[in-house]
Amino acid sequence: MHNQLTPWKDKILFTPGPLTTSPGTKQAMLRDLGSRDTAFIQLVRNVRSRLLEIAEAPKDEYACVIMQGSGTFGIEAVISSAIPQDGKLLVLINGAYGRRILSIAAIHGIARESIDYGEEKPVDPASVRQALERDPAITHVMAVHCETTTGIINDVAAIGGITRAASKRFLVDSMSAFGGVPLNVKKANIDFIISSSNKCIEGVPGFSFIIAHNEALAECKGRARTLVLDLYAQWEGLEKDGQFRFTPPTHALMAFSHALLELEQEGGVQARAARYAKNHDCVLRGMRDLGFTAFLPDALQGHIITSFCYPNHPRFDFADFYARLNAKGYVIYPGKVSNAACFRIGHIGRMDTNDARDLLSAVRDTLVEMGITLSGS
Ligand SMILES: Cc1ncc(COP(=O)(O)O)c(C=O)c1O
């Protein structure tokens, strides 16, 4: 237990979220604000407007909808609201989050098709064109921007060009990339893009948000398969009187509003991406020097999160490695790659290369404690 007499330092979260947030963002939550308070309604209006700016989505063509719950709630809201009863979804899969999209479509009884590229390959836009030519019943296409399973970044702008040329709607799960990977949503021909409060904007968990093209959003009217995840009704409520249909995460929104201010002060998405890229370069170089191998080749590796293979050493035990790093104040993340033993180190959140170097020293000390010598360390 911490009380005011025991100072403590939070562990640094090298994870894909929840992640380390700034003191200012944490402080911004320390208020009680009623959900119908005009200050809160104004804050929500500002947040929605600033998210459109970050997406480079013109305000007369796109709308921002905030949905309570984690990122998956936003994804399920879009899938279950956008695709009509006679529609068909093509899912482009190269990791666990792509597979989850397919599961959501299955639960809602949505007709679906998928292309699985394996976890070591990016989505191939040419294959999307061929799939659309082969199956004219497909009405919607969905891809993951940064597949957090490995850290691979898919070229959503190239896929968007193909879906637009074929007059299909394009849905993007940009959970771990939005705000940390520059993207012009209009130029990329994206109809719905989803992210959440606790990723590259560096807020705390509590909600997801969706940037939707007005025409695509209008089509959602009457299509929802659930009450709470009805994207159109949620948008309509927010537009009508600025209020949520159900209790909003007021504190998470206050924190997020401050986090957006800090993103602006940092220099916007480009500057944030540059900081994350430096974190990534520092960790990758340092881990290689210690004898670790990244799962992906450099050409495919994005700057959001990196998967490292378990070292081939009899004394390496991930649970022990994780616990020892945790005790030193550094939280890494288990792997999600299906056919390789990996762990992950995230590069997003309120941290810089000093933190990355501290993590690397802790990894070095941990290997010594475990009696592990890798070629390189
Ligand atoms: C690409 C991607 N999609 C979906 C999710 C799910 O988000 P949540 O756990 O907030 O529901 C994540 C979480 O890390 C993610 O990285």
Instruction: Answer for the pair 144, 178: CB distance below 8 angstroms, yes or no.
Output: no
Distance, CA 173 to ligand 1 centroid (Å)?
Answer: 8
Cα distances (angstroms) measured from residue 35 to each of 39, 230, 242, 260: 9, 20, 10, 20
- What's 2's DSSP letter? -
Q: Can you tell me which atom of ligand 1 is nearest the CA of 95?
A: 1
Identify the residue whose C-alpha is closest to ligand 1 atom 2: 175
pLDDT in tens, 261-297: 999 999 999 999 999 999 999 999 999 999 999 999 9
Ligand 1 pocket test, candidate residues 101, 175, 304, most atoms within 8 A of CB = 175
- Per the prediction, the chain carries an average pLDDT of 96
Q: Is 349 in the pocket of ligand 1 (CB under 6 A)?
A: no
Q: Can you tell me which atom of ligand 1 is nearest the CA of 177?
A: 1
Q: Can you tell me which atom of ligand 1 is nearest the CA of 97?
A: 3
HEC secondary structure over 4-59:
CCCCCCCCEECCCCCCCCCHHHHHCCCCCCCCCCHHHHHHHHHHHHHHHHHCCCCC
Nearest to 255 by CA among 84, 5, 18, 80: 18
Q: Can you tell me which atom of ligand 1 is nearest the CA of 198?
A: 10
What architecture is the 12-17+268-369 domain classified under in CATH?
A: Alpha-Beta Complex (3.90)
pLDDT in tens, 160-177: 999 999 999 999 999 999
Identify the residue whose C-alpha is closest to ligand 1 atom 12: 175
**Amino acid sitting at position 337:** V
Tell me the C-alpha distance between 31 and 22, whole Å. Answer: 17
Nearest to 191 by CA among 221, 167, 226, 227: 167
pLDDT band with cut points at 50, 70 and 90 for residue 4: low
Residue 371, strand partner residues: none
Q: Can you tell me which atom of ligand 1 is nearest the CA of 147?
A: 1
Q: Is 70 in the pocket of ligand 1 (CB under 6 A)?
A: yes
Tell whether the model's pLDDT for residue 1 goes beyond 60: no
Tell whether the model's pLDDT for residue 7 goes beyond 80: no
pLDDT in tens, 47-74: 999 999 999 999 999 999 999 999 999 9
Q: Is 154 in the pocket of ligand 1 (CB under 6 A)?
A: no
Other Cβ atoms less than 10 A from the Cβ of 117: the count is 18
Instruction: Say how many residues make up the chain.
Output: 377
Half-sphere exposure of 258 (CA within 13 A, CB side): 18
Q: Is 97 in the pocket of ligand 1 (CB under 6 A)?
A: yes
Coil/strand/helix, residue 66: strand
Q: Can you tell me which atom of ligand 1 is nearest the CA of 75?
A: 4
Instruction: Answer for the pair 24, 152: CB distance below 8 angstroms, yes or no.
Output: no
Tell whether the model's pLDDT for residue 5 goes beyond 80: no
pLDDT band with cut points at 50, 70 and 90 for residue 348: very high
- Classified by CATH at the fold level, domain 23-264 comes out as Aspartate Aminotransferase; domain 2 (3.40.640)
- Buried/exposed code over 91-110 (b: 16+ C-beta within 10 A; e: otherwise): bbbbbbbbbbbbebbeebeb
Identify the residue whose C-alpha is closest to ligand 1 atom 8: 71
Q: Judge residue 374's burial from the number of C-beta atoms within 10 Å of its C-beta, 0-12 exposed, 13-18 middle, 19 or more buried.
A: middle
pLDDT at 84: 98
Tell whether the model's pLDDT for residue 188 goes beyond 70: yes
Distance, CA 72 to ligand 1 centroid (Å)?
Answer: 6
DSSP annotation string for 173-240: E-TTTTTTS---TTTTT-SEEEEETTSTT---SSEEEEEEEHHHHHHTTTT-SSSTT-HHHHHHHHHH
pLDDT at 236: 98
Q: Where exactly are the structural domains of the chain?
A: 12-17+268-369, 23-264
pLDDT at 375: 78
pLDDT band with cut points at 50, 70 and 90 for residue 9: confident
pLDDT band with cut points at 50, 70 and 90 for residue 334: very high
